[in-house]
Amino acid sequence: MRKRARVIYNPTSGREILKQKMIGILNVFEKAGYETSAFATTPEKDSAKNEATRAALDGFELIVAAGGDGTINEVVNGIAPLEKRPKMAIIPAGTTNDYARALHIPREDPIEAAKIVLKNQTINMDIGKANDKYFINIAAGGLLTELTYDVPSDLKTIFGYLAYLVKGAELLPRIKPVQMHLQYDGGEFKGKASMFFLALTNSVGGFEQIVPDASLDDGKFTMIIVKTSNLAEILHLISKVLNGGRHVNDSRIIYKKTSKVIAQPVNKKDKMQINIDGEYGGDAPMTFIDLKQHIEMFANTDAIPSLAISDAPSEEIQQAEEKFVEIVKEIPDGDSK
């Protein structure tokens, strides 16, 4: 019996480019040996998630998530809880496309992205679980992450998860430390921090330097705890990120590998919001588990180095980096040590 593939696509992503090229996309998967059909997501809540679950339970061997990182997140949430999970492929059509960047999938042309399936190369990807939700790239908590909800969505789209600070720098003075308690493999942190951050890939908001040594399938998050909330120090840390990932050895940072994290505020009356893949994901306490090699993904494995170092940053990200450097240069030397 011929294998079946279901393309779940966001018809509004990328200026509707997916809708325009869907026939060509379907033809690629047909050429790869799949009887292929498509489903256009709707504004209804969990549209992509529900269709992914339905298709998986119906026995589809491959589910293709076509759209931005949000669409991919939804599809993963639809199949991750299942005992029998189909393979996945992704066709990026957002702006940042962190997941496609990490897997070295073409981000400019959906048909070229679909053709990755013809190489027949896959990787068993780690997936994060945050209580009862799943994530593909990042989870974070603390006031620094909460500021993202105050930044206009178009800025977040253009500049990514952290690069939004270029235009939203006026929000930084509002950063205050949170008394948080984090338990992780072999240790714990209990004290003031502006944020904690868990990463599954090396691409965050288009930046590869934030988690320079991320692995895609080792069963461990890369955990970063930012202990400072001082504006000048945070900008200085960002400059170190942009300058070759030198933040990983900074005393104001805790940088660890861990398969599990339990996060909660020290004072149970305090509220600590959790950001999952760039969106509000609930409040702590929350338990994060790295599900090792949980979903088999088509990827351009020939291009993925051992440390998953991605390709050159886009023009928008390069402009963001230059702006960050300008901001840091304006800080007096005595404030940025």
How far apart are the C-alpha atoms of 76 and 239, rounded to whole Å? 33
User: What Å distances lie between residue 153 and 56, 168, 311, CA to CA?
Assistant: 32, 12, 26
Which listed residue (61, 279, 296, 316) is catalytic?
279
Beta bridge partners of 274: 141
User: What Å distances lie between residue 165 and 3, 21, 59, 152, 221, CA to CA?
Assistant: 46, 34, 44, 12, 24
* Six token digits for residue 151: 């930044």
Confirm if 238 and 332 have CB atoms less than 8 A apart. no
How far apart are the C-alpha atoms of 116 and 14, rounded to whole Å? 19
Confirm if 236 and 328 have CB atoms less than 8 A apart. yes
Q: Measure CA 66 to chain center.
A: 15
Say which amino acid occupies 24: G
How far apart are the C-alpha atoms of 203 and 123, rounded to whole Å? 17
Any idea what the Cα angle at residue 138 is, between residues 52 and 172, rounded to 5°? 135
How far apart are the C-alpha atoms of 18 and 106, rounded to whole Å? 14
Confirm if 289 and 143 have CB atoms less than 8 A apart. no
- Residue 30 is a catalytic residue: no
* Six token digits for residue 108: 């400019």
The set of catalytic residues is: 279
